[in-house]
Chains A and B, each alone.
Chain A
Amino acid sequence: MPDQFLTGNEAIAQAALDGAISLGTGYPGTPSTEILERFGVLGGRAQWAPNEKVALEVGIGVAFGRARALVTMKHVGLNVAADALFTATYTGVSGALVIAVADDPGMHSSQNEQDTRRYAEAAGAPMLEPGDSQEAYDFTLKAIELSERFQLPVLLRLTTRICHSKTGVKTRSERLPAPAPHYERDIPGRVMIPGYARPAHVRLRERLRAIADSEEPRQLVREEGSSTELGIIANGVAARHAREAAPEARLFKPGLTYPLPIEPMREFAAKVKRCVVVEEGDPVLYTALRAAGVAVEGKSEPFRFGELNVDRVRKLLVDDRSPEPEPDAPPKPPRLCADCPHRQVFQILSKHECIVSGDIGCYTLGVMPPFEAMDTCVCMGASITVGLGLRHALPKEQARRVVSVIGDSTFVHTGLPGLAEMAYNPPPTGHVVIVVDNDTTAMTGLQEHPGTGRQLDHLPATSKLNYEAVALALGITQVFVCDPTDGSDDFERLLVDRLAADDLSLIVARKPCPLLTRRLASVASQEQEGTSSSQPSAGEAAIAATAAAAPSPRQTEPQSQSS
């Protein structure tokens, strides 16, 4: 195919299609979300998982069956999936397992700026790092090839500026031949009891050595320039900033971040009088090079924080630590939409001076004025459990004001074990959990999940998770559903009542996100344009499903569904 102009995410999706990926799965997370969505649009088999650990484990199964899996997530998602990753490198795979992980330096849309490169070495997973959309495309295909050849899961490490920047891409004219899935029993290779895991660890180190000794690390290097004065070793998009910041410099960009092409880097450093490592985030390349005895300079502490850009690389190269230029006014922060149903919930929580243990999603914006109705936000699913800890520790008059607020997608992601904990170890004052159910994963752009009853393409799924039934089954006896936006004071009365009780309560505050309603209408109209069938379209069915999900007027009266 000729040139296309693609984001890194779109390029990865195209490569997944051209690389005959059998199944794409993941959990939405900025900036990684569009990979799977695009893969689905292109005709690939793409599905959202409840969380990243589930996605990776499904991918492991696919790759155990000699098929090809692409698993996508943002950097913090790999923390959730890390348990699976650290042993998947021991078992290895017989098909291909590519894990695309998107870091967010500068935290445009994240709670930390952890550097995923650390995971590659820690878990023993080979890692490729593209620097633009072309490399995102090429390296995805390379990751499939490396995974099959060396029988290891391969990490594709991305950053915001790779995922969301558009650059030209030349794609392959021919797709890889599709794999032939087949199960070959290999108990010592797949069952990680200690007796089998000990040789598996040795095997992992041998495989990593085989990659390091192969032609691959050297072949993926990009080297430019002929300066004998200044040399720059840079990874990912930092290499492109560096090229522009120092056009005269000799530049070395390793494609493989783990295992690193140490000897080519040593040879490179020897060709220049001064060799500087330019990398966003942690000093990963710098530390590895210094440990290998290569004389390189690193960066000073200020450059560890945030994204790099051309200006910052210029300053980094001369260790100019002067402050960054400030805009005349700060950018406008995001906030809850004017018609967001979360607003009513936070207004009431604020009014009653609740101690709100919050979670991750649009509703995290409840922390912003005028509500300022969030006291903690740590990681996905932590609202319920941190709230329980507060309830356990605080004096009763404070403990009774603690409320956990969690979104529907986050509830499915990692809220469920917290609910089991709540039933199992109830605090003396009980607890109140509010699921703010807007029927979508709104913050990342309206993705579906098991609780929406719709699959990745917004069309109906075969099942729909029922939060109320799950809570009852887990042993939460006080379960309520209400629409916080119905104009009544039902939600407020219910909350006050539940805070006063020493019970375990789950309140589902249910009202679909208005953006979702518009999106589904658009899906329905596209369906109509696309088909001349007189039958109701799948998109219309999706809307009908949403309408059914919204409480009918008679359900808005808070009613206990306790068994």
Chain B
Amino acid sequence: MMNTASTREHNADAPPTTGPGSSPQPSPVTNIVIAGLGGQGIVTGSDILAAALFQAGYDVKKSEIHGMSQRGGSVCSDIRFGARVDSPMVPAGCADYLVITEPSQVAPNRHRLRPQGYMMTPDTVPFLFQDDDPKGAARAARMINVALLGVLSAHLPLSDDQWLTAIRSILPERLHEMNSRVFLHARRIEAILSGLRHNPAADGELGATATHPSAAAAASPSPSSQPSSQPLPPADQDQDRSRA
């Protein structure tokens, strides 16, 4: 079995977003699966993702199972977007992105990823847990859904504003600041790691301009990179506000 630490199966030759002509479907659809355990905020995370995509004008469908799975069992949410989406469920082996919030859930869900798909797990955001304060690390762990959403966001054609608006529309107000920070931090580090440039003008081409992540990771960090010893640096707009 593959080590969960090396989860990057992304290949620059095959961008994860199904561009025109690269799919047998008449209308290209991007498939995302978020999976984890009950209580990890899978549904909340997928609500934020779907709200952001819907507000951006895509046809979006999102589907998950509630009920018994809430009691600590496996939970998974399917999100699909494009010009037109029919089925709300991501077919097996068709997920362009597989977001997994708990390492034990890799094995039950790996089969959902397409061969050139991209998987992200808590190991993708180790910087999140490098807090000297155990309370801080635990708090960060509770935001693993939003952190991984930040990683995912670096591959999707939406702006910071669109994401933060979606976070504010789904989460209660008292959680906005901390979650926005975690989200943006993860988003920026992933953007650097995968060699993406956050230019709103490049919307829609982000997937196509992705370089091989291992190459990006080998490159020296850009000056704007946050030191990894600071797990929750304030986002720009929050610099004047203390960490609650």
Contacts and interface: CB of A to CB of B under 8 A. Distances in A.
Q: Does A associate with B in a complex? A: yes
B62 A311 contact: no
A327 B71 contact: no
A333 B73 contact: yes
A328 B110 contact: yes
Given A160-B65, A328-B108, A310 B70 contact: no
A335 B71 contact: yes
Contacts of B50: 5, 166
Interface in B11-58: 25-26, 37-38, 47, 50-51, 54
B66 A329 contact: no
A5 B54 contact: yes
B71 to A, nearest CB: 4
A30 B64 CA distance: 12
Nearest to B2: A328
Given A240-B86, A244-B86, A327-B107, A334 B71 contact: yes
B72 A362 contact: no
A323 interface: no
Interface residues of B, number: 40
Question: What is the interface of chain B mostly: helix, strand, loop, or mixed?
Answer: mixed
B187 interface: no
Nearest to A7: B62
Given A247-B26, A328-B111, A330-B108, A241 B1 contact: no
A497 B243 CA distance: 57
A444 B67 contact: yes
Interface residues of A, number: 43
B87 A310 contact: yes
A260 B110 CA distance: 42
B92 A334 contact: no
A479 to B, nearest CB: 30
Interface in A307-361: 307, 309-311, 324-337
A243 interface: yes
A108 interface: yes
Contacts of B86: 240-241, 243-244
Nearest to B24: A247
A337 B68 contact: no
B70 A334 contact: yes
A237 B88 CA distance: 8
A109 interface: yes
A562 to B, nearest CB: 36
Given A166-B50, A329-B108, A244 B25 contact: yes
Given A5-B60, A165-B88, A244-B25, A334 B69 contact: yes
Contacts of B108: 327-332
Nearest to A442: B71
B221 interface: no
Contact of A335 (B26, B60, B72): B72
Nearest to A331: B74
A310 B67 contact: no
Interface string A283-312: 000000000000000000000000101110
B61 interface: yes
Contacts of A108: 65, 67-69
A331 B42 CA distance: 15
A428 to B, nearest CB: 37
A365 B62 CA distance: 28
B169 to A, nearest CB: 10
B67 A30 contact: yes
Contacts of B74: 331-333
B59 interface: yes
Contacts of B62: 165-167
Contacts of B105: 331-332
A164 interface: yes
A445 interface: yes
A307, A328, A365 pick with most chain B CB within 10 angstroms: A328
B1 A328 contact: yes
Nearest to A4: B54
A232 to B, nearest CB: 12
B225 interface: no
B70 A165 contact: no
A324 B25 CA distance: 22
30 contacts: A3-B54, A5-B51, A5-B54, A30-B66, A108-B65, A109-B66, A109-B67, A161-B63, A161-B88, A161-B89, A164-B63, A165-B61, A166-B50, A167-B60, A167-B61, A240-B87, A243-B86, A243-B87, A244-B86, A309-B91, A324-B92, A328-B111, A331-B76, A331-B105, A334-B68, A334-B70, A335-B73, A365-B68, A443-B68, A444-B67
Interface of A: 3, 5, 30-31, 108-109, 132, 160-161, 164-168, 237, 240-241, 243-244, 247, 307, 309-311, 324-337, 362, 365, 443-445
- Of all A-B residue pairs in the complex, the 10 with the closest CB atoms, nearest first, are A109-B67, A331-B74, A334-B73, A30-B67, A329-B107, A334-B71, A165-B88, A165-B63, A328-B107, A244-B86
Interface of B: 1, 25-26, 37-38, 47, 50-51, 54, 59-74, 76, 86-89, 91-93, 104-105, 107-111
